[in-house]
Amino acid sequence: MFYVLYNKTIVWHGQEIQARLDTPIRTQEERAWWNAWDGDNPLTDCPPLTFSVLPDAPPPDNYITSTGIDLFSERLAGIVSRFDIRAEWLPVQLRDQGSGNRLALSFYAFRLLETMAGIDYQKSIIERKAVVEIEKLALTEECQQADRPMFYLEGFRSFKVINAAVCAALKQAKLTGFRYIPLDQFRAGMKYYAELAQGLVQLPDEAAE
């Protein structure tokens, strides 16, 4: 069985817990690494990555970022690293978004380096509009038999697919910042926005104490 690994929005004191990329993207060299980020090859010239976060909010294991960069906690990295997942881990610095002071939190920028042409388009229902809508998603037999632990589907990098073993490990560890949606139940697109938004979590104020 396969699952879609989807970001879960967490709200604390009325604010979404997010990480803002502070590393500049202005020069030609800086744009080069940024343009290569969504590829499946390891990066060779990536600058030190710095993000700003709310210092008092309880840090999730998976920070949502405004850039699409995956920001995983050290605890999450330890679990993911047990599996044969083709990826690279880049160290990052987290800073107080107010003062700019460095925070003593260990996080990594995670780059998944595996994309599979695994969609069975005869069994899937996908409408390519201004916003792609997925009504039904099915994998090819070849993709299912490969049983890769984590991968992107070709043409879709806004979510990851994980196998049952990875899903079980992440659930057992009670990691925060994720939803695990069975592949045959996954829907995406404007008409399913409300359904996906149900993943939002409101943290009680005492969660930070």
Share of the chain above pLDDT 70, in %: 90
The mean of the pLDDT values for the chain is: 87
pLDDT tens-digit profile of 3-27?
999 888 888 888 889 999 998 777 7
Entry pTM: 0.86
The token pair at 120 is 């069975």
Least confident segment among 57-71, 131-145, 187-201: 187-201
Q: How far apart are CA 114 and CA 152, in angstroms?
A: 6
At residue 30, the pLDDT reads 75
User: With contact defined as beta carbons under 8 Å apart, do 109 and 69 qualify?
Assistant: yes
User: With contact defined as beta carbons under 8 Å apart, do 47 and 86 qualify?
Assistant: no
